[in-house]
């Protein structure tokens, strides 16, 4: 028997259509608004859909594991148990001490598939990466997209290789000792192909940045929350993922006593205990609230980590000199020192961008720094710029190296964006492939209007629907053959190896980080290790207490603390 079940509490009739069968199968209403049917002889690979109240065409299953005909087509029966995993000895990867690597499957390789990504995993092994963080891989409308317009939260995008393709990639990562984190979007559904709300009240009346919010605390919300939790557990259990990055959790409107994030964390902890390997939940949040990563037994939500935009803003504004928008409060050495020793810059302090106080202080003695993921670049901070330019397009090689040293020697969990390790010159732009002309036009015009408000001419903003926008965003692996890019890659390799070799650099205790700074120079001390950086365009001398340079990006650096222009060094004290 193959069991079919769908939640449709407000429907009076639900029928199951099986491809190749003449008659639709009436489903039986059960407890909680669930409709069920058990059928013999329906094998994996069979297409099916649901008809609601006898009207219209069959709709895809909201919990579909496979959408080979796209998000508007029929679902396909898939057997998770049939895949031949080879990672039975895999014991997982803990977040503490790890280096993450964010990549987008569609632009990581020319082919843009899970299988093609496997061919580049040895590069990540050689680099020293511990875990890859995949931008969303669940099904979305069209052929290519960032992934944040997904509508099928259980089905890997078929254009990438579908469910078996994702499993092959995860299996290959584990064979090489690399963990896998999947970016999951539970704060909204995409604008095309979101059929779940046709079945049940998945959406609330309120709205967030992307449209209507999820129904997390209204009538029927128990099953909506279950829809989220079961999706998360499926990525971790059925696809053997090692963690999830939870997109924009500040947009999850939930007024219940137990927040959906706490509920999810408890379920994931239980699954980790059963599987015998660590599972990691990483939140993206605009709240600067350490309760997200405070353990549940201490009154927090119990997530393992959160992205730390303050760390990015502090580094980016200091290195580039940009001060527009949300960079207005950042850019000073005092700001970077505050972040390196306390994680957040806005911690119950005034935010001029928001026009109010923002954030909450981190307990430096009790909250380990590895719970904050830091980065020089990520998909948002590159792709949401008008032209998708990386910092390598504007910074000198020296300042790029300073940024790399400060990131990888920081107390946080560092994350690289694909290509950053060799100073890639390819942009990463905002691209879409909406087949609906009206939606395609609306997205392109909205993008132009957004940047016109900041002074960008419309002609300078790439059209998201133009295939060349996607093509420009693909990594150019041939750059690795050029000396300047090879040198940058060598620096990243050595920094990651140094981080692994020196316990000081993976020590997560924030209260053990000491920072001093002067006129365009900064020294960060971590135990018996010092990180010295000169951001000035001329040589300078910084006060040090050491006698051995372990790694220097400045050939002229000496134990006396002489650093050449725009350079950094790591020393043992």
Residues tagged active-site:
247, 284
3-class DSSP assignment, residue 537: coil
Kindly list the distances between the CA atom of residue 425 and the CA atoms of 279, 429, 479, 482, 484, in Å, as whole numbers in the listed order: 34, 12, 8, 12, 11
- The tokens describing 180, both together, are 């896998």
Alpha carbon 332 to chain centroid, angstroms: 27
What does the DSSP assignment read for 220-251? THHHHHHHHHHHHHHHHHTS--SEEEETTGGG
The closest of 262, 247, 266 to 182, measured between CA atoms, is: 247
Instruction: Classify residue 440 by its DSSP letter.
Output: H
Kindly list the distances between the CA atom of residue 137 and the CA atoms of 75, 93, 104, 221, 417, in Å, as whole numbers in the listed order: 17, 21, 9, 25, 17
CA gap 33, 15 in Å, rounded: 14
CA gap 409, 121 in Å, rounded: 24
Neighbours of 258 (CB within 10 A): 12
Instruction: Classify residue 299 by its DSSP letter.
Output: T
The closest of 102, 4, 20 to 60, measured between CA atoms, is: 4
| SS3 labels along 448-502 | HHHHHCCCCCHHHCCCCCCHHHHHHHCCCHHHHHCHHHHHHHHHHHHHHHHHHHC
What does the DSSP assignment read for 82-130? GS----TT-----STT--EEEE-HHHHSSS-SHHHHHTTHHHHHHHT--
- Do residues 340 and 410 lie in contact, with contact meaning Cβ atoms separated by under 8 Å? yes
Cα dihedral sign, 162-164-169-173: positive
CA gap 214, 285 in Å, rounded: 17
- Within 8 A by CB and 6+ apart from 364, the residues are 341, 342, 510, 511
């Amino acid at each position: 028997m193959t069991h079919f079940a769908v939640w449709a509490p407000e429907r009076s009739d639900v029928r199951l259509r099986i491809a190749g069968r003449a008659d639709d199968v009436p489903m039986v209403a059960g407890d909680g608004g669930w409709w069920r049917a058990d059928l013999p002889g329906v094998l994996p690979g069979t297409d099916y859909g649901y008809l609601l109240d006898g009207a219209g065409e069959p709709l895809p299953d909201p919990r579909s594991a496979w959408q080979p005909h796209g998000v508007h087509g029929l679902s396909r029966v898939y057997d998770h148990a049939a895949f031949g995993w080879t990672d039975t000895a895999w014991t997982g990867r803990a977040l503490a001490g790890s280096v993450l690597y964010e990549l987008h499957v569609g632009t990581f390789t020319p082919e843009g598939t899970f299988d093609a990504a496997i061919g580049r995993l040895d590069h990540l092994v050689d680099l020293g990466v511990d875990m890859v963080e995949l931008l969303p891989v669940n099904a979305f409308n069209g052929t290519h997209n960032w992934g944040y317009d997904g509508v099928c939260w259980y089905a890997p995008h078929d254009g990438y290789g579908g469910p078996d393709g994702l499993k092959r990639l995860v299996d290959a990562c584990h064979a090489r000792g690399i963990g896998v984190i999947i970016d999951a979007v539970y704060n909204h559904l995409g604008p095309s192909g979101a059929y779940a709300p046709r079945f049940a009240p998945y959406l609330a009346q309120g709205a967030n940045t992307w449209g209507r919010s999820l129904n997390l605390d209204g009538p029927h919300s128990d099953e909506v929350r279950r829809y989220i939790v079961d999706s998360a557990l499926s990525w971790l259990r059925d696809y053997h993922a090692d963690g999830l990055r939870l997109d924009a959790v500040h947009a999850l409107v939930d007024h219940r006593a137990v927040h959906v994030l706490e509920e999810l964390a408890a379920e994931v902890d239980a699954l980790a205990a059963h599987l015998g390997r660590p599972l990691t939940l990483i939140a993206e949040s605009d709240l600067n609230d350490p309760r997200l990563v405070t353990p549940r037994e201490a009154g927090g939500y119990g997530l393992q980590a959160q992205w730390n935009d303050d760390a990015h803003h502090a580094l980016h504004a200091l290195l580039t000199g940009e001060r527009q928008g949300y960079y207005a409060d950042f850019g000073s050495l005092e700001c970077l020192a505050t972040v390196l020793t306390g994680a957040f810059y806005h911690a119950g302090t005034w935010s001029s961008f928001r026009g109010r106080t923002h954030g909450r202080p981190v307990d430096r003695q009790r909250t380990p720094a590895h719970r904050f993921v830091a980065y020089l670049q990520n998909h948002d901070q590159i792709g949401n710029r008008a032209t998708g330019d990386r910092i390598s397009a504007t910074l000198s090689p020296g300042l790029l190296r300073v940024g790399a040293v400060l990131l990888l020697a920081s107390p946080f969990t560092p994350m690289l964006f694909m290509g950053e390790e060799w100073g890639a010159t390819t942009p990463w732009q905002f691209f879409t492939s909406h087949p609906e002309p009206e939606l395609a036009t609306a997205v392109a015009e909205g993008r132009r209007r957004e940047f016109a408000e900041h002074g960008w001419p419309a002609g300078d903003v790439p059209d998201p629907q133009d295939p060349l926008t996607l093509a420009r965003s693909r990594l150019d692996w041939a750059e690795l053959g050029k000396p300047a890019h090879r040198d940058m890659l060598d620096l990243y390799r050595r920094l990651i190896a140094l981080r692994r070799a020196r316990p000081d650099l993976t020590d997560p205790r924030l209260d053990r980080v000491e920072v001093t700074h002067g006129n365009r120079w900064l020294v960060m001390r971590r135990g018996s290790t010092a990180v010295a950086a000169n951001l000035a365009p001329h040589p300078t001398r910084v006060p040090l207490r050491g006698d051995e340079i372990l790694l220097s990006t400045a050939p002229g650096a000496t134990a006396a603390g002489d650093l050449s222009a725009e350079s950094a060094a790591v020393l043992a004290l």
